[in-house]
Structure 1
Amino acid sequence: MDEEARLHMQTCPECRLLLQLAEEGEKAWEELLFRKALPDGFTERVMASLADIEIEDGDGSMEHGHPASFRRKRRYGRIIRKSALWIASLAIVTAALTLYAQPSIADWVRSIFSKETTDSGMLDARKLGIVQNPHVKVKDKGYALEIDEVVADATRLVMGVKVTDPQGKPLVYAIDWHDLHITDLNGNEVAELRGIEGSDTVEKLTFVFVKEIPADALIVQARVDHLQIPYTGKVVDGKWDFRFELDMKKANAMNITTPLHEKYTTPDGLRIEMEKLVRTPSGVRLELSTSLSPRAARRSPGELESKQQLMFHFENEQGEDISSVNNIKFPHMETIISQNSELRGGKRHWTFTFRYLPYDRQKLRFVLDGYSIPVRSGGSVELVPSELKHRPAVFKDQGDELTLSDFWVDNDPNQKEGTGPNVSLIRMKGKFRNMFNHDEWIVKDSDGKEYPVTYRGSVGWGEWNEATGDPGFIVNGMKRLPEKATLIRIVTDKWYNNVEWSFELPKGKSIPGLEHADPPTY
């Protein structure tokens, strides 16, 4: 590997992961193909595959040919020997692939560490030896459910589930996991399912912890009473319940906490207090808290405060984005697993969970890009339903602009066609500087009666957010069109980018046992 490639590998987690997967794949095949003890019957299968190959006799003649000169015999013999060796090699590989159904290779391929389902954090966890095998194997109606790989630490819990049909064919996404629970020894639920993905052979479930893990053991239990066979509509009833215990002592002992002390208050009254970074075998957890000034709290009372979002990213010394959160400018979310928050003691405490954040090996900087929080507002536009088709109305407020081009009565489009109640519909198309998800709208008729408004359509995110109605605003409860009406936005999902704050993360310690246990000096 040349110097340029080596330097790139040091800074690119994706390329390092691909290289590691390739090396592990090569090692797995090498162990399979060249292990000392070959599978039973292996020699017989190879010899049978060579039965029809023409190979030179010991006297220098071809079995079905004629004698030739010494020089020609030697060249011809080399070709035949090479051909036989090549065919034998193909036979070995073919035999190896035939062995896929046998545990020796099937267990390697059907794994949460395959290329489709792994990441750098999980590979680190495996290297540190925290992969647990709960030895779960439940069979009913010919269908088997098996769990033999679980990665669990303070960052996340990842579990591989293998389901096979009566013929041994793998099934994925056949189980509804609504009745799967992870609890402490006292029965308190401590984790939430945040991701389901998989390869063609194994389903990978990812859980994140809603609170710090206080115990040295966890209970994983599930009730599974039916399988939905993919692409067939077939449902198989049975009993595949399971329960097992995970030992968390080894993983918890590896956690490394780096305190953070930085604080910042935005011009509009959001206070951010950094708390800590926690490096675990499978990833990194960032914890911080936010609070509102009295004036900001009045703009976002009650539930509005809980809908705030922070936007930030991490960058290296070259200014390159390493990981981004809720970021329009750097929409790279591949390293973040989840974000959670809860209100405690007047502050909102946040936990951001990352698969990868190399602050133990590189100089990284936290950069705040902005935040959003719904605020009370009152932007409005008057509508004349009979004129909108020919004279669209334009709503302008806080940098956002909507065009309203039709107003009519129809069945509720969110109900089955022809069955829903009559509602009024407003066709709209908008361009938003602010966010849109937590906007709240109403329509007020000429008598002063207010009707709640919901939205149906699509939203595209970018430097500007674009909303296209399908059909648009739904005015619930308005069964007849008024002569005039007023569309009012009572809550704006406000985006603030008037921030200027960044700081360098303190150098973190690496977990002993990883290849980067001794990071370079900053």
Structure 2
Amino acid sequence: MSENCLTHEQIEELIVNRQLGSVMDHIEKCTRCQHLLEACMEEQSDMHQALYPDKLDDSFTDLIMAAIEADKNRYDGNKEEEEPNLVHMATPVPTRKKRSRKKWIAAVIFLFLIISNVFTQPTVANWMRSMLGMTADVGLTQAEKLGIHRFVNVTVRDKGITLEVKELAVDTSRLVIVLRVVGPYGVDLNNFFRTDTIDVLDDNGKSIVDPNATGRIENRKDKWWWDEYLVIDMGLKETHAGDHITIRGNVDHFDFERWDWRVNGNWSFEIGMDMRSAREQMKMIPLEGEYVAPDGTRIKPTRMIHHASAFQIEFRTQLPPNAAPPNEQLVWNKYHEVGFYLQEQSGRKIASNDYYRDKSSSKPAAFPLRTSCDIEESKKIVTCTYTFGQLTELPEQAELVIDNYHYPIYTNDTISFEVKDLQSTPAVFTARGDEIRIGGVNGIRDSFVSKAEGIKPSLWLKASGRYSNETSGDQWTARDEHGHEYTGYLLGSYGESEDAYRKYSGEMVIGGLNHIPKKLTITRTATDMRYQNINWSMKLPNLSRKL
């Protein structure tokens, strides 16, 4: 491979821009580049057949053969003259089969004609070039048809770093933006891009980005094609202000924390989008029905919202008086979750959220995109919106089924033990269906204690066991023989087991306890209770919709 060799992407770009002639001199001498060109030609031919399956008529063949013959005549009549680079034939390499000049000219003409035909049709060109057309997300593959897609091709360069925003799709539920960051010498810097530098503003200049609902789309059909791009999915809040939004990139630096290096600069951008088409496709359907648990928990599906590229189901839960507040490390989306699914009359599941743990091998047609929750702690009210990728076709009749849910409650379950005895006789904490074995000291190491105290030397104890409840909302305290109290928590891994328990293996950390005490009393002051096998259902209104 010489320094003049081309990449697959460069050859495609030269073909599209009709500049292939500028490199034909090199291609005719280079086996590698010839193979790349042949691969590009084959891809374009296959795509042309997919888009235009009708057989080419005889006039097309005549056109190519006439071009070949005309070129042959010119070549024969000017053998003694120096030829231009476009048609220069290299001296054959002894180990390589000589390639026909007619083949190359015919191939190039054929390719140019295909490109001129295909790429002059905007819808087809967009479909071919779009990263979003390669996901399993129907709402994105149909974005062009739905009128929510736009190629923006914004490029901002500073300090040797280039930020390229290729395309985006936006409706009333989310913004999906495709971009990449390229450093000097083509180095991929995508992992250094911070999604919180992108904001979306309504007509009043108010941010409508949901900070709890941003992620990257990974469901790729052909991963190699995506390697150089980031596809970011940002949840949007409801807004009734105007028919336009502004997408603003406030990018003024890139952090390279591993090398303690920061690059300051200006990679800011601003893109306006008309939201009228997206708003017209939004439909809100009120839901009637409520599950009431024996302890007074009330879970009410309040509404279903159709957007151009997604649909959402909103739940409003009134928690009972003994519900504990979120602990310091708990994100709101994990404080209270409802496990549910939608099914057709036949029983086939068409959608289920992440918290519904279905052990069957079949996958619902609509996959969950994200969950976003708001908590009114004083009223113990949690409102969660579950967003799904759109379905190609929704049934007229469907049923919503609640299978399980969880939230933390106040508890006071304790165990006391002599620390020196743990190695030979592990202490077993058993309460509310959970069993945790504390089996010996694992050292004094630094750990996070709290936002106020930061990181401090702490006592680490070996731990293992099984859980029937959740763990993220648990709250633990530890008290030594002198009555000093510390915050505790569990670290480790969890796995599903056949009997509906989750196996646990890890360590219990007693934050800020920098020595090995004689005695410890461990108390779980809040237990993240999981309520299973609810099997409450309600009929949904007509959902019929085709994309």
TM-score, scaled to structure 1? 0.72
Matched, 1:327 2:356: yes
C-alpha deviations, 1:463-492, integer Å up to 9, x for none? Answer: 3222211xx111122223232221111110
Q: 1:336 aligns with which of 368, 375, 386?
A: 368
Matched, 1:423 2:458: yes
AA in 2 matched with 1:447: H
Structure 1 residues 106-505: aligned runs within 5 Å:
111-115=130-134, 117=135, 119-134=137-152, 136-141=154-159, 143-164=161-182, 172-192=190-210, 194-197=214-217, 199-226=226-253, 238-292=265-319, 296-297=320-321, 299-303=322-326, 307-325=335-353, 326-330=355-359, 335-343=367-375, 346=379, 347-357=381-391, 360-361=394-395, 363-407=397-441, 409-412=443-446, 421-461=456-496, 463-469=500-506, 472-497=507-532, 499-505=534-540
Task: Give the distance between the partners of 1:202 and 1:43, measured in 2 at CA.
Answer: 38
Task: Give the distance between the partners of 1:90 and 1:108, measured in 2 at CA.
Answer: 27
Higher alpha-carbon deviation: 335-344 or 225-234 = 225-234
Task: Give the distance between the partners of 1:142 and 1:32, measured in 2 at CA.
Answer: 45
Are residues 163 and 114 of structure 1, via their aligned partners in 2, closer, same or farther at CA, if it must alter by over 3 Å?
farther
Higher alpha-carbon deviation: 278-287 or 444-453 = 444-453
Unmatched 5+ stretches in structure 1: 1-21, 37-41, 52-82, 511-515, 518-522
Aligned alpha-carbon RMSD (Å): 4.3
Task: Give the distance between the partners of 1:30 and 1:358, measured in 2 at CA.
Answer: 21
Contact 1:154 1:213 in 2 (8 A): no
Are residues 425 and 167 of structure 1, via their aligned partners in 2, closer, same or farther at CA, if it must alter by over 3 Å?
closer
Task: Give the distance between the partners of 1:145 and 1:103, measured in 2 at CA.
Answer: 25
Q: How far off its partner does 1:450 sit?
A: 1.7
Contact 2:315 2:385 in 1 (8 A): yes
C-alpha deviations, 1:209-251, integer Å up to 9, x for none? Answer: 2334543221211122345799999976542210122211111
State the identity %: 24
Task: Give the distance between the partners of 1:31 and 1:228, measured in 2 at CA.
Answer: 47
Total equivalences in the alignment: 438
AA in 2 matched with 1:435: E
Contact 2:203 2:243 in 1 (8 A): no
Task: Give the distance between the partners of 1:229 and 1:445, measured in 2 at CA.
Answer: 42
Task: Give the distance between the partners of 1:231 and 1:111, measured in 2 at CA.
Answer: 33
Task: Give the distance between the partners of 2:512 and 2:183, measured in 1 at CA.
Answer: 50
C-alpha deviations, 1:395-451, integer Å up to 9, x for none? Answer: 110111111110354122569xxxx75322211002000111111111122233221
TM-score, scaled to structure 2? 0.69
Task: Give the distance between the partners of 1:124 and 1:484, measured in 2 at CA.
Answer: 63
C-alpha deviations, 1:339-398, integer Å up to 9, x for none? Answer: 122246944322111113577335322110111010111222222111111111111101
